[in-house]
């Protein structure tokens, strides 16, 4: 079976690409590792995606996008892509179970994965108080005291969400100013359940069976303190999912993000990239969707002109 387009990743950019290529009647296969939706599938509330004036649950939005892609004929299969061979005009996509797919073009929409703190106790207590998903684990911490780590949009948004369940959120940031959007900062400053701890980093997570405390270091004066918490939610950024490209000629930047031009073309002919996996300034659902549409149209033009 030879596809016109294979899309790697089923987040908003991949699904958007699938909607566009399928509407263009290109034979399209989207390969997703776990479940469609990517990061938005674990986001409680999106309020900046146009068309939903009251906001929308991230999972619900991803289900709608997936249905829309399938409606136009986009095939979706599940599996982990471990490498892609792009030297020939017909490209080969190889999965961890040794399945192989052939395609004329590839759209990489593999997104990014959450970064870890890499401190003692983090690995040991993951799932026992350490979490990277407020929507998944927030309800387990009803009336408990927790810590949220980070100063970006994710940390502030999820800290606000967690106030629905917990008694107190200690929002711990390594600097004295947040990088999150001002509207989120205003909400956080007004929220009585959120206690902000600036200029501090987590040095250790400890407990008996589950998390009981974290050790904090003030980066300005070096003071060490202990904070009694039952849970710690880590939102310190993301790393691009580009490990499967290590044997390819697709150019990455020094942080591992795929370098593209404005039309989502990578350094390899017939290979396009879109969404959070590519080097860019703004990572939002709306920009991911826009990238996906552009990548799809670029793939279409490539097929019309190059093959
Ligand atoms: P981010 O913007 O990269 O922020 C990561 C935060 O974690 C920063 O405040 C950073 O501190 C801190 N940090 C990084 N490494 C750390 C470490 N080892 N220890 C302690 N703190 C550490 O990540 P994000 O908040 O997940 O957002 C990712 C992208 O998604 C952004 O483009 C964001 O705008 C977007 N997003 C948007 C929304 C929304 O629009 N509602 C929601 C979620 C995410 P410094 O500030 O000191 O670097």
- Atom of ligand 1 at shortest range from CA of 177: 46
Q: Output the pLDDT for position 19.
A: 98
CA–CA separation, 144 and 170 (whole Å):
11
CA 152 to ligand 1 center in whole angstroms:
4
Q: What is the pLDDT along the chain (307 residues), one digit of tens a residue?
A: 999 999 999 999 999 999 999 999 999 999 999 999 998 998 888 889 999 999 999 999 999 999 999 999 999 999 999 999 999 999 999 999 999 999 999 999 999 999 999 999 999 999 899 999 998 899 999 999 999 999 999 999 999 999 999 999 999 999 999 999 999 999 999 999 999 999 999 999 999 999 999 999 999 999 999 999 999 999 999 999 999 999 899 999 999 999 999 999 999 999 999 999 999 989 999 999 999 999 999 999 999 997 5
Establish how many alpha carbons lie within 13 A of residue 113's alpha carbon, considering only the half-sphere containing its beta carbon.
Answer: 9
CA 32 to ligand 1 center in whole angstroms:
25
The residues annotated as belonging to the active site are 133, 136-137
The overall longest dimension of the chain from CA atoms, in Å, is 64
The pTM for the full model equals 0.85
Helices 182-190 & 153-162, crossing angle to 10 degrees? 30
CA 274 to ligand 1 center in whole angstroms:
20
Ligand 1, atom 26: closest residue by C-alpha: 237
Ligand 1 pocket, residue 160 CB under 6 Å: no
CA–CA separation, 277 and 162 (whole Å):
28
Cβ contact 212:188 at 8 Å: no
Q: Output the pLDDT for position 42.
A: 84
Residue to mutate (ligand 1; options 50, 52, 237; most atoms within 8 A of CB): 237
The full DSSP string for the chain is: -EEEEEEE--SHHHHHHHHHHHHTT--EEEEESSSTTGGGGG-S-B-SSTT-TT-B-HHHHHHHHHHHHHHTT-EEEE--EEEEE-SSSSEEEEETTS-EEEEEEEEE---EEE-----TTTTTTBTTTEES-HHHHGGGGTT-EEEEE-SSHHHHHHHHHHTTT-SEEEEE-SSSS--S-HHHHHHHHH-TTEEEE-SEEEEEEEESSSEEEEEEEETTT--EEEEE-SEEEE---EEE--GGGTTS---B-TTSPBP--TT-B-SSTTEEE-GGGB--S---HHHHHHHHHHHHHHHHHHHHHH-
Q: Output the pLDDT for position 307.
A: 59
Cβ contact 274:108 at 8 Å: yes
Cβ contact 114:234 at 8 Å: yes
CA–CA separation, 69 and 132 (whole Å):
28
CA–CA separation, 49 and 52 (whole Å):
7
């Amino acid at each position: 079976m030879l596809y016109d387009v294979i899309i790697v990743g089923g987040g908003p950019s991949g699904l958007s690409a699938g909607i566009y290529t399928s509407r263009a009647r290109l034979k399209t296969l989207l390969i997703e590792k776990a479940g469609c939706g990517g990061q938005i599938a674990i986001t409680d509330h999106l309020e900046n995606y146009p068309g939903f004036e009251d906001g929308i649950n991230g999972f619900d939005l991803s289900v709608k996008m997936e249905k829309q892609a399938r409606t136009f004929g986009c095939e979706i299969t599940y599996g982990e892509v471990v490498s892609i061979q792009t030297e020939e005009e017909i490209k080969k996509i190889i999965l961890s179970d040794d399945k192989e797919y052939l395609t004329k073009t590839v759209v990489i929409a593999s997104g990014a994965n959450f970064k870890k703190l890499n401190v003692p106790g983090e690995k040991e207590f993951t799932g026992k108080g350490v979490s990277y998903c407020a929507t998944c684990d927030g309800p387990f911490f009803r009336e408990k005291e927790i810590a949220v780590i980070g100063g970006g949009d994710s940390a502030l948004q999820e800290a606000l969400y967690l106030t629905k369940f917990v008694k107190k959120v200690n929002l711990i940031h390594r600097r004295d100013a947040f990088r999150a959007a001002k509207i989120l900062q205003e909400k956080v400053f007004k929220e009585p359940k959120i206690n902000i701890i600036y200029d501090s980093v987590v040095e250790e997570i400890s407990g008996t069976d589950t998390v009981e405390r974290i050790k904090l270091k003030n980066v300005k004066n070096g003071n060490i303190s202990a904070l009694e918490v039952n849970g710690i939610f880590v939102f310190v950024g993301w790393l691009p999912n580009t490990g499967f490209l290590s044997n390819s000629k697709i150019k990455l930047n020094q942080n591992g993000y795929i370098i593209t031009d404005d039309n989502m073309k990578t350094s390899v002919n017939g290979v396009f990239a879109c969404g959070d996996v590519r080097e860019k300034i703004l990572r939002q659902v709306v920009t991911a969707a826009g990238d996906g549409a552009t990548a799809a149209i670029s793939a279409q033009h490539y097929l019309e002109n190059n093959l």
